[in-house]
Amino acid sequence: MKRVGFLTSGGDCQSLNATMRGVAKTLYQAYSDIEIYGILEGYKGLIYGNYRKLKPRDFSGILTEGGTIIGTSRQPFKQMRTPDENGLDKVKAMLSNYKEWKLDCLVILGGNGTHKTANLLREEGCNVVTLPKTIDNDIWGTDITFGFQSAVDIATNAIDCIHTTAASHGRVFIVEVMGHKVGWLTLHAGIAGGADIILLPEIPYDIKSVVKALDKRTAEGKRFSILAVAEGAISKEDAALSKKELKAKRKANPYPSISYQVGQEIQERTGQEVRITVPGHTQRGGAPCAYDRVISSRLGSAAARLIIEGKYGYMVGFKDGEIVPVPLEDVAGKLKMVDPASSIIREAKGLGICFGD
C-alpha cells in the first residue's frame, strides 16, 4: 500500500487544485493500492494532526477551481524551531505525525517559506517532493511558477480597465500590484497593460525621474498616464537606509502603502490629479487561466513520476520548456529576482517605459 500526503502552504493561488489533480491522476493510473491524504491547512495540519483521506472523486472537477480543497495557512519558517504557546515542538510533531500516518511521501505545494520548511523535513528524514506555487514567480530553479500567469492576466485586466477612465478624465492612475520582494508580476502586467511607468522592488526609483517622465508625456499632449507599482517598490532614499532605519521610517509613514505615497508626491510636484487602484487579493482568486492549467497538469504528473520512481528530495521545476527535477537543497532560501540589467528590462525601456531609475 502506497500512502502519500498532500499539503498546500502559504498564500493561495489559482492552480493549487489543478496541480494536486495532476499528481493524483497520475498516481491513480500507476497504483491500484494507493491512499492519498489531504493534510489540512498547510503545515498547521501536519503539526497538529489534522488530515482527511481523499478519494478519486475529490480530484474530479477541480481543474478549473481556484484556491485549495485542503486549505492553507502561513507558518513562518523562522518560527518552526520555536515551540508553540503550549510548548509543543513543531518539528518533532510534524515528524511524529508523518511516521504515525505511515506516509511514504509528502507532496508539498508552496512558495519560498514553504520550500525552506520542506527542506527541513527532508533533512530530518522525510521523503518529500515539492511543487513551485506562487503568483510572484520568485522561486529559484524554475522559469515559471504555477499561479503566476493567472495573476498576470488579472492584474493586466485591472490596468486595461483603468485606461478608459484615465483617458476620459485626463488623470494619472496608479495600479498597485502584489509583490513585496520581487517585481515579476508588476513587470509582466505593466508591459501587457501598456503602463507608462513601472516601479519594482529591484529598481529603486527617484521620484524626480518619475515626474520627469510624466511631464514629458504632458508636453507631448498625452492626457493621462498609468503607473504599475509593486507593493514593495522603494525609493532610492529608502533603499540606502539600514533595515532598522527603514523599519522605523515605515512605522511612522502615514500612507497605507507605497502607491499612496508616490501618488501624493506626484500630485504635489505636477499638480495632476492622481487616483490609486489596488486590485489586492483578486490577483490570487478565480479560475486558473489555460496556461496555468497546462503547466500545473504537467508539473503534477512529473511530481507523481518522481514518487513512482522513488526519487525524493526534489522540487519539480520548469526550465527551457522542459519539466526538470531540482534538488530541494538548491531551492530553499533563494529568491529569483528581476535583474535590472536583464533583456526584458532593456526591451521595456526601449518601448519608452520608465522605471524611475
Cα R_g (the chain), whole angstroms: 22
Kindly state the cell numbers that stand for 218: 504632458
Helices 207-219 & 258-270 angle (0-180, nearest 10)? 50
Residue 321, Cβ density class (10 Å: 0-12 exposed, 13-18 middle, ≥19 buried): exposed
Q: Cβ neighbours of residue 123 under 8 Å, at least 6 residues apart? A: none
Q: Assess whether 339 carries a catalytic annotation.
A: no
Q: Which of 136, 138, 196, 292 is catalytic?
A: 136
Q: Buried (b) or exposed (e) across 190-229, using 16+ Cβ within 10 A? A: bbbbebbbbbbbbbbbebeebbebbeebbeeeeebbbbbb
> According to DSSP H, which parts of the chain are helical?
16-30, 43-48, 90-100, 112-123, 148-169, 184-192, 207-219, 236-239, 243-252, 258-270, 290-309, 328-331, 343-350
CA–CA gap between residue 34 and residue 1 (Å, rounded): 6
Angle in degrees, CA 236, 240, 241, rounded to 5: 125
Q: Cβ neighbours of residue 69 under 8 Å, at least 6 residues apart? A: 17, 20, 38, 58, 62
Ramachandran angles phi, psi of 35, nearest 5° = -120, 130
CB atoms within 10 A of CB 58: 18
Q: Which of 205, 209, 162, 202 is nearest to 184 (CA)?
A: 202
Give catalytic residues, as residue numbers: 136
